[in-house]
Structure 1
Amino acid sequence: MTQSSVLQERKIGPVPALDLAVGIGLAVWAIGLSWSHDGVTVPLLLLATLPLVFRRVNPPAALAATFVGGVGLFFNGTYPTPTSNLAVAISAAVAFYTLLRLLQRGQAWAVTVLAMAGLFGLGMFLMWRIGSFFGPVVMVHGAQVALCIGGVALAADLARARGEVKEVRQESVDQMIAAQCEQAAMAERARIAREMHDIVAHSISRIAVEAETAPYTIKDLSDPAREGFEQIATTARETLVEMRRLLGVLRTDSGVGGGTSPQPGLARIPELLEEHRRAGGTVDLDIIGNAIPLPAAVDLSAYRILQEALTNVRSHAPDANVRIELAYLQDTLAIRVSDDGPGPSPSTGGHGLIGMRERVVMLGGWLNTGAAPEGGFLIEAGLPLLQAEAAA
């Protein structure tokens, strides 16, 4: 990020309340405790303190204003009290610190060196103008101001270093979270692929069996038709073997064997609800419309979404009441799961929501998660039926 872009970002937004309070407070302090309230001293005190209000909006201008006000007070000859001078010094130090924090390390130290050199030159000029009698006084004050400038530069450098370390740490955390999310998505995709393999393999096996048995169940089957059925059965068997070879690595890498139990579907919803109730939860189910046979991929994905939703409730809002709504629409299965718990939190869902989204995206559907209008957490999903049938 360039310096100009940083300054541009600083110009966005209202003046912070702290800057407003500090700038006005220093101005009141300097004027109220000053020995002189003439038409020159008061404006110079305001110029040296009040621009601190806008130090984040335009740091160079704020520093320039405080510097001009301070130098003007010195040359004015009215000499405010030491307490007023302290207010002016604090204002200049804060404005200088703000500018240094916006610069890179090399630029900040270069500005610091230039400020000290300018201060030294100003001291030499004053010694030449007012004579050697006041020379030691000027040098002592100059040394004090130089030490203040160095201290402010060191403080800004340390704050910059801490900020850089914090940014690097936050970047590392963000990268780690992104990597974990990507790993979770890959793992869920592998799980979905295994489940889809089981569904497709079952369908292909049925094709092979029906093609093999067709010559024995259909009377007066012609020889070309018999050969066609035999070819269908052979192709189905070969396809099944290739699918098992292709997706076998997913089962090996995940440590999951190739079990033969059928994939679950919405017919097992009563088991899900009973499991949730046995864990101490409360859940109600509403079915809207007439239940119809679903494509295998939609049936499985709907079951997994509900399973993950109830698992999330038990993990993050175990005392919440859950309401599940299934709507059988003309071309979509709509799912809505809501609870009256505390609502979203940084850890709500996590990898489970990633898995839901992967399943919905696979079917070309949609998914919304977040705070429910009436409070609690809400999951809404739509699984297209026609697209799933075409894909199958």
Structure 2
Amino acid sequence: MFNKKPRRIYMDYAAATPLEKKVKKAMDKYWDKDFGNAGAIHTEGTIASRAIEESRKTIADILNARPEEIIFNSGGTESNNAAIFGVLDNLVEKGMKIEDMHLITSKMEHPSVLNYFEYFQRRGASLDLVDITEEGIIDLKHFRELLKPNTVLVSIMFVNNEIGTIQPMEEIVRIIRNFKKKILKNHQSVTPVLHSDSAQALLYVPLNTLKLGIDLISLDAQKIYGPKGAGALYVRKGLEINPLIVGGSQENGKRPGTPNTPLVVGFAKALELSTQEQKKETERLTELRNYFIKEVFKKIPKADLNGSLENRLPNNINISVPATNNDFSVIQLDQKGIACSTKSACSTQKYSYVIRALGKTEQQIANSLRFTLGKFTTKKDIDYTVKCLTQLK
């Protein structure tokens, strides 16, 4: 008799989620049965086109947006790049010089935002990074002070991907609107444009685009039990952006290329299902998250929570624990059947710049671990994980 392979405990849902079975079922027929190109006018093409437009409407309705404001693409990184490039290239096309542009983002943004802002800084734009409080929240006073008459683009992520802190986006929108009204003397000014990477928010935070007033919102299906390689950029009606990719007229000319029908259908289905489960799952995971943190502090008194507990996603636990270093800790936990992480899966830096932005010590930064729970996480999983944490060397 062979020994049964032990069940692995997955606690890296912020990096990727498994594909929901109902989502896979919704996608299946578009791989081999209804496989037509949505750009074709024959029956097969019309079927694919209809599926895409129905999916667009589903997503738009959930976000309280117009269907034409939803631009499908390959995921969060492309959405972030498309938003940043789209705004700035459009301004260049209208005659503004890059060296006359002022950009604002925070010290804890996703690499696809920070690195792209730094790219435009190297090309001549001025760039300011908003300070972060020790709780992992944008310093609103500092943000207000950074705004200038030539500020053209602000990018603040709705929820941080490493520590799960939820940013006060409605207040950020108010600050920008007051700046336009009182400083620019033009409340209808297009700039500063506000972009928000909301990939981590979509699963747990209701996104009402009309109420929020954010100009550009990046979304990613793989964070909500949808397919990898599927995403969308919400572009507020009336805002002009140039396409990141040049080609055909797909997605209103904003994202050329043959649309991937099964991925789009899967994205819409995943959002539909996750929205239905949002309240119940948020309550369940909040209870598990709080239990996890309580047990860690009880058994590892020197552990430290990174980021606010109050303004935090229900599934995120980012802690610093006494150990050799976090990479070695992840390997030790992996050998015990637990999957967690040290930082964003997209970051190439050795240690987390997000934890550093909180003002933590070098030891706390080097010992930080991220556990993100999901729909298959149980209390038993947490008990075993905490036990393993106490055994780290």
TM-score interval w.r.t. the shorter chain? under 0.3
Counting helix residues as a fraction of each chain, which structure ranks higher? 1
Question: Structure 2 length normalisation: TM-score?
Answer: 0.22
Q: Which has the higher contact order (CA 8 A, sep 6+)?
A: 2
TM-score (norm. length: structure 1): 0.22
